[in-house]
Amino acid sequence: MSDVSNGDERIKTTSKFRQALMRPELGGMVGTVAVFVFFGLFAFDSGMFNSQGVMNWSVVSAQFMIIAVGACLLMIAGEFDLSVGSMIGFAGMMIAIFGVTLGWPMWIAILITFVICVAFGALNGYIVVTTGLPSFIVTLATLFILRGFTIFIPQTLERKTIIGGIREAAEGDWLAPIFGGEIGEPIFVWLGDRGIINVFERGNRAGEPVVNGIPMLIVWALGLVIIGHFLLTRTRFGNWVFAAGGDADAARNAGVPVNAVKIKMFMFTAFCATVFAVCQVMEFGSAGADRGILKEFEAIIAVVIGGALLTGGYGSVIGAALGALIFGVVQQGLFFANVESSLFRVFLGVILLAAVILNTYIRRTITGER
């Protein structure tokens, strides 16, 4: 904010309304309302708002949210991570290798995978801060390296690129349900019995509700959003993150440990990607070499829709979460609205562009920034 007005700007009072408009997540909030109004009008009777439909776009949005939180904090700290998608594929494959191929207990497989992936995140960060190379290039290299290993390792060990049997291997494990389980089943059974949500009409599960619980994926997404938001807005570390991304040299001169902050943010991004991967392999029971392709861009798109600046120093976790929600609702909503699927990318591009232009416009008019 380069606004230099008369007097000391630090003690200048701003109206509540103006303060509200200055929040980075404003664009995300407007967009969320707009998206729901749009699909409420055009896809209301298509099943998008029945229990299965709501669960469908909620889960997709939650997936985006998990990786968007990490990408958001990292972007505010002034860096990118393009290896998120490959990290998702890699982490899933590691769990399959340790838990199924090597037959280790699932909780050990999960914990070791977290350690390996977060270490890769730290390595990304270390290379970026010590060499001063753009994180774009460094993590692009990691993207290829991790994807390569994700194909090579299972091909070498198992002669195939999809390893199944993870659900069976995770049977009775104490850690696995924290990622792949569901909570609130009794509530959904109750809702199903009352006829408020649909129940299965046939098969082994006849009479059970079509949605039988809130997946832990959604719980993780909300948890990470809350933690991320708290960290960013209520702690000293959060201020450091803004400072590191806003002007790294100024921050260093002010005593902020910029390098440590950036490395930690790379590690957190890797952590989020790993959470995504573990939830996914626990739900689907298999790890595939093609999982997570292009997810890094989806994370960045969600963050940018949510009002963060690509140049760092400005943004909000709540905004990124709303961006993820918009992204998820639009992606699945287009299917519900029966739009020709090959045009999906056209919509994605249009929405991204519209969101960025809207966000920039709002910010410039309100803050007077050029």
Partner 1 sequence: MKFSKATLFATAAIFAAPFMATTVIADGHGDDLTYILVSHAPDSDSWWNTVKNGIALAGEQMDVNVEYRNPPTGDLADMARIIEQAAASQPNGIITTLADYDVLSGPIRAAVDSGVDVIIMNSGSPAQAREVGALMYVGQPEYDAGFAAGQRASDDGVGSFLCVNHYISSPSSTERCQGFADGLGIELGNQMIDSGQDPSEIKNRVMAYLSANPETDAILTLGPTSADPTLLALDENGMAGDIYFGTFDLGENIVSGIKAGTIEWGIDQQPFLQAYLPVVVMANYHRFGVLPGNNINSGPGFVTADGLELVEKFAGEYR
Q: Which residues bind partner 1 (CB under 8 A)?
A: 41-48, 50, 52-53, 55-57, 59-60, 151, 155, 159-162, 164-167, 198, 200-206, 210, 280, 284-286, 288-294, 332, 335-345
Terminus-to-terminus CA distance in the chain, angstroms? 9
The minimum distance between CB 41 and partner 1, in angstroms, equals 7
Query: How many CA atoms are closer than 13 Å to the CA of 5, on its beta-carbon side?
Result: 12
The minimum distance between CB 164 and partner 1, in angstroms, equals 4
The minimum distance between CB 110 and partner 1, in angstroms, equals 18
The minimum distance between CB 332 and partner 1, in angstroms, equals 5
Beta bridge partners of 287: 163
The minimum distance between CB 124 and partner 1, in angstroms, equals 23
Q: Tell me the C-alpha distance between 86 and 146, whole Å.
A: 6
Residue 238 or residue 285: which is nearer to partner 1 going by CB? Answer: 285
Q: Tell me the C-alpha distance between 345 and 11, whole Å.
A: 46
Residue 128 or residue 329: which is nearer to partner 1 going by CB? Answer: 329
Torsion of CA 174, 271, 123, 299, to 10 degrees: 150
CA distances from 264 to 123, 305, 310 (A): 10, 24, 19
The minimum distance between CB 49 and partner 1, in angstroms, equals 9
CA distances from 240 to 6, 74, 137, 245 (A): 28, 12, 24, 8
User: 28 and 307 in contact (C-beta within 8 Å)?
Assistant: yes
Residue 60 or residue 69: which is nearer to partner 1 going by CB? Answer: 60
CA angle 122, 254, 308 (to 5 degrees): 60
Residue 183 or residue 293: which is nearer to partner 1 going by CB? Answer: 293
Q: Supply the DSSP string of 95-116, one letter for each residue.
A: HHIIIIIS---HHHHHHHHHHH
Q: Supply the DSSP string of 144-182, one letter for each residue.
A: HHHHHHHHHHHHHHHSSSEE--HHHHTTT-SSHHHHH-E
Residue 60 or residue 263: which is nearer to partner 1 going by CB? Answer: 60
The minimum distance between CB 62 and partner 1, in angstroms, equals 11
Closest CA to 325 of 44, 25, 30, 32: 32
Residue 44 or residue 136: which is nearer to partner 1 going by CB? Answer: 44
The minimum distance between CB 310 and partner 1, in angstroms, equals 23
Closest CA to 269 of 88, 71, 89: 71
The minimum distance between CB 262 and partner 1, in angstroms, equals 29
Q: Which tokens is 354 given? A: 């519209």
User: 317 and 232 in contact (C-beta within 8 Å)?
Assistant: yes
